[in-house]
């Protein structure tokens, strides 16, 4: 089955890749393209994805959205909007054929993974602690400044109960659940720098492993409490 899906992905790539793009790909190092990554997410992992808005201007210094003070330049949905996220490989291929450098976004929640993100140094401490406890973790997305731990889908109601039980929730801790999104590799982060997998998705006999948010939230809250912007109760 994996070989059949692999051949199907290759046909889609070849169909939508221009001669110029094919020439560039032939001379490039073995870094997966955004189209390849998007098709892998949509087809093999069944994750709904969509392109981010990207950057504009000759130097790419500003977000392509109309907001001059955009907080996450280039790295958010705009056109298409978040509700357009799909697992349809034809739509995915068409999007990135038109905008090959568009950031790759995962629409979190529903049947798709959710995530919890926090400053990189705090996340690294939390991961060391969880590993020492024998906790089985899932994929981890890393940017130069933040890490995001992918977790099993959760409801806003359940998340609210978990956070209410905490003495405090650092403002540096962010939750990507239903109606949210997460920037995926190999996109470029909004502040610059490459997005990469600190721990890549690994599919076993039972599919992709994702821990429950209950299993990791205490360690992430504790680790992020000393990070800049921590200490206040999060409006989620």
Per residue in 115-157, pLDDT (tens digit) is 999 999 999 999 999 999 999 999 999 999 999 999 999 999 9
Strand partners, 118: 147
Question: Do residue 117 and residue 227 come from a single domain?
Answer: yes
Question: Do residue 154 and residue 77 come from a single domain?
Answer: no
pLDDT band at 161 (very low <50, low <70, confident <90, very high): very high
Q: Could you give the C-alpha distances from 19 to 14, 16, 29, 73, in angstroms and in order?
A: 10, 10, 18, 30
CB 117 within 8 Å of CB 148: yes
The whole-number pLDDT of residue 39 equals 97
Question: Do residue 157 and residue 123 come from a single domain?
Answer: yes
In a domain, 61, yes or no: no
Asked which of 63, 81, 100 is the last residue of a domain, the reply is: 100
In a domain, 62, yes or no: no
Q: What is the mean pLDDT of the chain?
A: 85
Question: Do residue 139 and residue 93 come from a single domain?
Answer: no
Question: Do residue 121 and residue 190 come from a single domain?
Answer: yes
Question: Do residue 198 and residue 229 come from a single domain?
Answer: yes
In a domain, 60, yes or no: no
- Summarize pLDDT for 50-70 with one digit per residue, the tens: 999 999 887 778 899 999 999
Question: Do residue 48 and residue 124 come from a single domain?
Answer: no
The whole-number pLDDT of residue 141 equals 98
Question: Do residue 225 and residue 125 come from a single domain?
Answer: yes
The structure's pTM equals 0.83
In a domain, 64, yes or no: no
The whole-number pLDDT of residue 32 equals 65
The whole-number pLDDT of residue 232 equals 36
Question: Do residue 83 and residue 120 come from a single domain?
Answer: no
In a domain, 124, yes or no: yes
Domains contained in the chain, number: 2
- The domain containing residue 11 runs over which residues? 1-55+72-100
CB 104 within 8 Å of CB 38: yes
Q: How big is the chain, counted in residues?
A: 236
Question: Do residue 121 and residue 179 come from a single domain?
Answer: yes
CB burial string 200-233: b at 16+ within 10 A, e below: ebeeeeeebebbebeebbebbbebbbebeebeee
Question: Do residue 79 and residue 150 come from a single domain?
Answer: no
In a domain, 67, yes or no: no
Question: Do residue 231 and residue 137 come from a single domain?
Answer: yes
Lowest pLDDT segment from 19-33, 146-160, 206-220: 19-33
């Amino acid at each position: 089955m994996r070989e059949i899906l692999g051949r199907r992905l290759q046909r889609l790539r070849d169909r939508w890749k221009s001669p110029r793009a094919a020439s560039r790909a032939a001379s490039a190092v073995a870094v997966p393209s955004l189209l390849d990554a998007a098709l892998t997410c949509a087809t093999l992992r069944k994750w709904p994805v969509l392109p981010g808005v990207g950057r504009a201007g000759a130097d790419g210094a500003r977000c392509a959205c109309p907001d001059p003070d955009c907080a996450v330049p280039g790295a958010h949905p705009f056109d298409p909007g978040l509700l357009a996220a799909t697992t349809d490989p034809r739509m995915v291929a068409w999007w990135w054929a038109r905008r090959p450098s568009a950031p790759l976004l995962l629409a979190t929640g529903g049947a798709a993974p959710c995530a919890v993100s926090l400053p990189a140094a705090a996340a690294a401490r939390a991961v060391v602690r969880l590993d020492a406890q024998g906790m089985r973790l899932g994929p981890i997305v890393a940017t130069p400044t933040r890490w995001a731990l992918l977790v099993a889908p959760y409801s806003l109601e359940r998340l609210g109960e978990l956070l209410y039980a905490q003495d405090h929730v650092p403002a540096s801790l962010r939750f990507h659940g239903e109606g949210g999104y997460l920037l995926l590799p190999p996109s470029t982060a909004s502040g610059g720098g490459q997005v990469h997998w600190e721990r890549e998705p690994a599919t076993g006999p039972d599919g992709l492993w994702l821990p429950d948010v209950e299993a990791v939230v205490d360690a992430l809250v504790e680790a992020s409490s000393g990070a800049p912007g921590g200490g206040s109760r999060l409006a989620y």
